């Protein structure tokens, strides 16, 4: 029984960690700007494409990985400056539409550059290696992801709770206007948020695409949406919530992918039901359930709407 479930569980934990790294970007931006950054999934995809092109130009790994991380962070910064900053006083719907526009632009730009073909992700030594756990053979990345994710999250929580910029972030997410009156430089706080979010998305993209091995212009949208669901599930605005939500979604999704096989092997059913089709839909079903039952998410703070 365990040997049937284990591979799905392992890939679930791995994917969960990758979703978590993306979800943090969503949750931090939402916490501060109250904006669903629809372009975040595409920033993640662009990080993948950058890795493909930088490696193809012959750069060694110790150059290409830092370069990808820094460039992606810069892209996140630039997107905020160009597309969201001019709309700061506009209605929330305008910023959201702008985010959708950025997502559309990034996808088309990558389509143009790559010609719409699948790009093969370079294999990275060590994390691409195969290891065997019990009877299951998997890639090193499966084990590295959760550990790396947890380390980064701990570092981020330390940053938020114990540094000056972290304090500013918390203040801005509590009350935008008041913190501005208190002399916090709103724009730099927002920029830092976008830089951190994009940086983590780039780390996530290295891990994710090592697993999936091809990148195309649309490969960011699904992980992006799922990571957003994870952020909502965990309570939007809360970093630990996003991480827990991402792991739950990653594991559930992969268990559903393997549900047919698991049920057959366990002798519960003899037919294949084709549940695999629903692995994506399940995430959204979960989202709708949590929105109806507990709209603030697992760890979200209760907010009252003022008239």
Partner 1 sequence: MNTASLTAKPRKKLDRATVIAIGVIFAIYALAFVLEQVIPSTSMLFTVLKKGATYALVAVSMNLLNGFTGLFSLGQAGFMLIGAYTYAVFTIPVAQRMSVYQYYNGGVIQFTLPVLVAIALAGVFAALFAFLIGLPVLRLKSDYLAIATLGFAEIIRAIFQWDKLGVVTNGSNLLRLFPTFNDFNIKDASGNVTLHLSTLIPFLIAGVCILFIVMLINSSYGRAFKAIRDDETAAEAMGINLPRHKMIAFCTSSFFAGVGGAMLAMYQNSVQAKYFTTSMTYEILLIVVIGGIGSVTGSCISSFLFVACSEWWLRFLDQEQTINGWQVPLLRNGFRLVVFSLIIMAVVLFFRKGIMGTRELPDLFRRRKPSGKGGAKA
**Residues in the site for partner 1, rule: CB under 8 A?**
34, 36, 82-83, 86-87, 90, 92-94, 96-98, 100-105, 107-109, 111-112, 115-116, 218, 221, 225, 228-229, 232, 273-274, 277-278, 280-281, 283-285, 287-288, 291-292, 295, 305, 307
SS3 track for the chain: CHHHHHHHHHHHHHHHHHHHHHHHHHHHHHHHHCCCCCCHHHHHHHHHHHHHHHHHCCCCHHHHHHHHHHHHHHHHHHHHHHHHHHHCCCCHHHHHHHHHHHHHHHHHHHHHHHCCCCEECCCCCCCCCEEEECCEEEEHHHHHHHHHHHHHHHHHHHHHHHCHHHHHHHHHHHCHHHHHHCCCCHHHHHHHHHHHHHHHHHHHHHHHHHHHCEECCCCCHHHHHHHHHHHHHHCCCCHHHHHHHHHHHHHHHHHHHCHHHHHHHCCCCCCCCCHHHHHHHHHHHHHHHHHHHCCCCCCCCCCCCCC
The residues with which 133 forms a beta bridge, in sequence order, are 136
Query: Min. distance of Cβ 285 from partner 1 in angstroms?
Result: 6
CB of 225 to partner 1, least distance (A): 7
- Cβ closest to partner 1, residue 98 vs residue 149: 98
Nearest distance from residue 106's CB to partner 1, in Å? 8
Shortest gap between Cβ of 92 and partner 1 (angstroms)? 6
For the CB of residue 108, give the shortest distance to partner 1 in the complex, in Å.
4
Q: What is the largest CA-CA distance in the chain?
A: 66
Closest to partner 1 by CB, 29 vs 68, is: 29
Distance CA 46, CA 242 (A): 22
Q: CB-based contacts of 76: which residues, under 8 Å, 6+ apart?
A: 25, 43, 194, 195, 197, 198, 199, 201
When the beta carbons of 124 and 286 are compared against partner 1, the nearer one is 286
C-beta closer to partner 1: residue 26 or 247: 26
Minimum CB–partner distance for residue 97 and partner 1 (Å)? 5
Tell me the closest approach of the beta carbon of residue 176 to partner 1, in angstroms: 16
Give least dist CB 99 to partner 1, A. Answer: 10
Residue nearer to partner 1 on the CB measure, 153 or 232: 232
When the beta carbons of 75 and 148 are compared against partner 1, the nearer one is: 75
Give whichever of 4 and 105 is closer to partner 1, judged by the CB atom: 105
Residue placing its CB nearer to partner 1 in the complex, 41 or 240: 41
How does 80-99 read in b/e, with b if 16+ C-beta sit within 10 Å? beebbeebeeeeeeebbebb
């Amino acid at each position: 029984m365990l040997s049937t479930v284990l591979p799905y569980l392992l890939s679930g934990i791995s994917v969960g960690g990758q979703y978590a790294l993306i979800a943090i970007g969503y949750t931090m931006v939402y916490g501060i700007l109250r904006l669903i950054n629809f372009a975040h999934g595409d920033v993640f995809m662009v990080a993948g494409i950058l890795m493909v092109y930088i490696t193809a130009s012959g750069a060694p790994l110790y150059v290409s990985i830092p370069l990808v991380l820094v460039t992606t962070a810069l892209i996140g910064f630039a997107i905020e400056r160009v597309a969201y900053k001019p709309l700061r006083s506009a209605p929330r719907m305008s910023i959201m539409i702008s985010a959708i526009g950025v997502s559309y632009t990034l996808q088309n730009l990558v389509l143009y550059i790559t010609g719409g073909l699948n790009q093969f992700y370079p294999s990275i030594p060590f994390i691409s290696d195969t290891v065997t756990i019990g009877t299951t053979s998997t890639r090193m990345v499966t084990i590295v992801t959760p550990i790396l994710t947890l380390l980064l999250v701990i570092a981020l929580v330390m940053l938020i709770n114990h540094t000056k910029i972290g304090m500013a972030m918390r203040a801005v997410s509590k009350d935008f206007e008041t913190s501005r009156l208190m002399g916090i430089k709103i724009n730099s706080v927002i920029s830092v948020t976008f830089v951190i979010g994009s940086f983590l998305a780039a780390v996530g993209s290295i891990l994710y695409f090592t697993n999936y091995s091809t990148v195309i212009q649309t490969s960011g949208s699904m992980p992006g949406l799922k990571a957003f669901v994870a952020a909502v599930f965990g309570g939007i605005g809360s970093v630990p919530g996003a991480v827990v939500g991402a792991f739950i979604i990653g594991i559930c999704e992969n268990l559903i992918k393997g549900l047919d096989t698991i049920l057959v092997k366990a002798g519960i059913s003899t037919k294949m039901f084709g549940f695999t089709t629903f692995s994506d839909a399940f995430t959204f079903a979960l989202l709708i359930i949590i929105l109806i039952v507990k709209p603030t998410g697992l760890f979200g703070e209760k907010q009252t709407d003022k008239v």
